[in-house]
């Protein structure tokens, strides 16, 4: 397939006449586009649009259609509820879930007439659904009770709020575990066209049907003409769940009611099952190494009749984020991080790779048609919109501009691509954003952006919190290095951070700062470092090892004391792989001494803002409290910004705006 060149700056050429800079308040007014799937006839595109109501501190999601014949957008729903899980039906109608009267119902709507009808009323709280290919059956994800509460054991104390833990994984990311698990229910369509709520195919099991907390209906797949359902689960609990990434694909036979593990011999993650166009094979993504959540994702496929399985070995060193069978069934299309951008590729069954997209825009979604690809694209200076790639002419056309009214008024920063020489002689891609008010010969305060993950590429992402365009719009140069330990630059580069958190990755940050600070536009006396998660860890580590390079620090949900963090985090497979395992293991003594930021507090001499969420169970709040307390006791200018109702991320609109205000207020004071 011919390469497609994307010129990201051209999509916002109207901004050449802009007069305003992006602000935190404007950032939260930007509408958010989701999906972008072609209709069965290939003439319409289904997508959702979410708008944030700051006063109500919530978002509203509605369904939209883009008509390719008339090049017009039509809003399909406009209700007080959020519509979600919107999908094309084979007759061109759209099915979707929506909340009403305290529950969730399944609806369908004719996108042309707007006629809407209720097609299922569920007994439980439905989290998602998948219709069988003939639409005669429905699989739903529902929460079911699998254990007793402590209050039920002590029934005479109904107002007690106590918990009793007997194993690990009693909390996960931002939620405490409870007596419920997510199970799959299989129902059917009756003669009246209504879907009847089904039976629990995992009855008496204590496991979740999909890998919590982020998996959903993408982990469910109907096969064998609707006679079988494949689901992707990690059937482990407690310590076994906390220390392993070994998930599997399970095939449930609707007629015999038997379940078979299709991938029993594989140790790492097996995820994202998809069906071949002829229905004879399935493919999925596999990580080989148990415990390594950021291992390379490879494509495996299986013949459903013979159960023979093969892996595709790509002739390019890539890991796969998202993939689909090609329409002819002779290969795959997939998205992969590649040199700082999430690009679209294709491969044949032998692993020969061709790159489809190039340029500075992330592919966040794609849908295949006979004549076109529909792409969801975004960059650091453009939130997601839909684009049409014509397969015959090899041309790209932007379809939606859902935030044109906002971006027409905004100045845009300039993005530079620099390749920095690291201390061990490697070349490192570093994005540099110049302020929107940039003037030749003027020096600007500068921010080193430290990426989280840690294995998460600094791509052309548009974030609603760590928004690099917003930082540049407030008058800062932004340095964003793709340091050691993230994908897109080969597996060796990705793996290099494990057990070396405070080593080469930190030296990579310093290499980027030292080289870019020599540019005429950087004020070397006004450089700060900011970041979250591993990026927050990096800020803490740099605070004790920066040799005067930085004048200000901001750490959000950072790891401060690796010993206390190991004792309070939940997914221990991550800690075991990336930092070596338990601190009481004598083999790990040096790793903890060298890599834990709290070991260098004696060198702290710079103002620091610490931010943390009370529901952050990946990096518990005590990490932020320890860092803030150390800064206070050392007499440093410091603040502790605490969100009791947020987790690892700040998701509530008013909290998000407050976060941005305090972030930039701190920088204004200290830089």
Catalytic (active-site) positions: 533, 616, 648
- Alpha-helix residue ranges (DSSP H) falling in 67-177: 150-153
Burial class (CB in 10 A: 0-12, 13-18, 19+), 102: exposed
Q: Give the Å distances, CA to CA, from 414 to 8, 482, 509, 514, 516.
A: 12, 18, 21, 21, 15
Please state, in angstroms and rounded to a whole number, the distance separating the CA atoms of residues 302 and 314: 17
Q: Are 49 and 62 in contact (CB under 8 A)?
A: yes
Tokens of 528: 């700060």
Phi, psi of 473 (to 5 degrees): -70, -20
Q: Strand runs (DSSP E) across 422-518, as ranges?
A: 427-434, 444-450, 477-481
Buried b (16+ CB within 10 A) or exposed e, 162-182: eeeeeebbbbbbbeebeeebb
User: What's the token pair of residue 572?
Assistant: 């221990």
Residue 180 in tokens: 């419920």
Which stretches within 311-465 are classed as H helix? 404-407
How many CB atoms lie under 10 A from the CB of residue 639? 18
Which of 119, 111, 118, 124 has the alpha carbon at shortest distance from 138? Answer: 119
Beta carbons of 569 and 170 less than 8 angstroms apart: no
| DSSP 8-state code for residue 410 | B
């Amino acid at each position: 397939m011919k390469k497609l060149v994307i010129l990201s700056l051209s999509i916002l050429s109207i901004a050449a006449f802009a007069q305003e800079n992006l602000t935190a308040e404007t950032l939260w007014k930007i509408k958010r586009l989701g999906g972008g799937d072609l209709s069965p006839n290939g003439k319409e595109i289904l997508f959702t649009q979410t708008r944030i109501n700051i006063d109500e501190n919530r978002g509203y999601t509605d369904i939209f259609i883009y008509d390719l014949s008339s090049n017009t957008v039509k809003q399909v729903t406009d209700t007080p509820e959020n519509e979600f899980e919107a999908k094309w039906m084979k007759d061109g109608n759209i099915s979707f879930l929506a909340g009403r009267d305290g529950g969730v119902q399944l609806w369908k709507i004719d996108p042309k007439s707007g006629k809407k009808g209720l097609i299922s009323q569920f007994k439980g709280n439905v989290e998602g659904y998948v219709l069988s290919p003939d639409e005669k059956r429905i699989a739903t994800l529902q929460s079911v009770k699998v254990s007793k509460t402590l209050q039920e054991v002590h029934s005479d104390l109904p107002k007690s709020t106590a918990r009793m833990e007997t194993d690990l994984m009693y909390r996960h990311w931002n939620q405490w575990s409870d007596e419920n698990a997510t199970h799959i229910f299989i129902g059917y369509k009756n003669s009246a066209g209504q879907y009847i709520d089904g039976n629990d195919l995992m009855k008496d099991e204590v496991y979740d049907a999909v890998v919590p907390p982020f998996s959903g209906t993408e982990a469910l797949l109907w096969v064998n003409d609707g006679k079988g359902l494949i689901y992707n689960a990690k059937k482990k609990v407690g310590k076994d769940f906390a220390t392993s990434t070994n998930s599997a694909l399970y095939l449930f036979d609707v007629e015999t009611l038997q379940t078979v593990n299709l991938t029993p011999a594989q140790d790492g993650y097996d995820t994202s099952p998809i069906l071949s166009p002829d229905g004879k094979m399935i493919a999925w993504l596999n990580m080989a190494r148990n415990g390594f959540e950021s291992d390379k994702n490879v494509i495996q496929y299986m013949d459903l009749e013979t159960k023979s399985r093969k892996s595709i070995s790509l002739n390019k060193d890539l890991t796969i984020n998202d993939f689909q069978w090609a329409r002819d069934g002779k290969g795959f299309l997939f998205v992969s991080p590649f040199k700082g951008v999430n690009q679209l590729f294709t491969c044949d069954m032998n692993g020969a790779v061709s790159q489809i997209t190039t340029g500075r825009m992330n592919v966040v979604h794609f849908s295949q048609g006979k004549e076109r690809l529909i792409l969801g694209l975004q960059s650091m200076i453009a939130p997601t919109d839909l684009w049409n790639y014509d397969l015959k002419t090899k041309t790209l056309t932007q379809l939606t501009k859902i935030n044109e009214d906002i971006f027409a008024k905004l100045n845009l920063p300039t993005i530079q691509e620099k390749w920095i020489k690291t201390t061990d002689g490697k070349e490192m891609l570093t994005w540099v954003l110049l302020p929107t008010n940039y003037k030749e010969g003027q020096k600007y305060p500068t921010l080193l952006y430290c990426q989280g993950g840690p294995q998460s590429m600094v791509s052309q992402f548009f974030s609603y919190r760590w928004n690099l365009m917003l930082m540049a719009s407030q008058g800062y140069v932004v340095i964003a290095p793709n340091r050691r330990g993230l994908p897109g630059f080969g597996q060796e580069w990705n793996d290099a951070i494990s057990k070396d958190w405070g080593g080469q990755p930190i030296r990579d940050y310093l290499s980027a700062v030292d080289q870019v600070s020599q540019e005429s536009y950087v004020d070397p006396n006004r450089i700060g470092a900011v970041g979250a998660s591993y990026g927050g860890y990096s800020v803490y580590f740099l605070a004790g090892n920066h040799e005067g390079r930085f004048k200000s620090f901001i750490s959000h949900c950072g790891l401060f004391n690796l010993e206390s963090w190991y004792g309070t985090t939940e997914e221990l497979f991550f800690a075991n792989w990336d930092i070596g395992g338990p601190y009481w293991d004598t083999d790990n003594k040096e790793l903890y001494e060298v890599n834990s930021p709290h070991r260098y507090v004696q060198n702290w001499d710079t103002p620091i803002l610490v931010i943390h969420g009370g529901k952050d169970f990946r990096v518990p709040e005590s990490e932020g409290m320890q860092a803030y307390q150390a800064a206070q006791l050392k007499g440093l200018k410091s603040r502790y910004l605490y969100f009791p109702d947020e987790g690892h991320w700040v998701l509530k609109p008013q909290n998000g705006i407050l976060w941005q205000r305090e972030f930039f207020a701190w920088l204004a004071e200290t830089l």
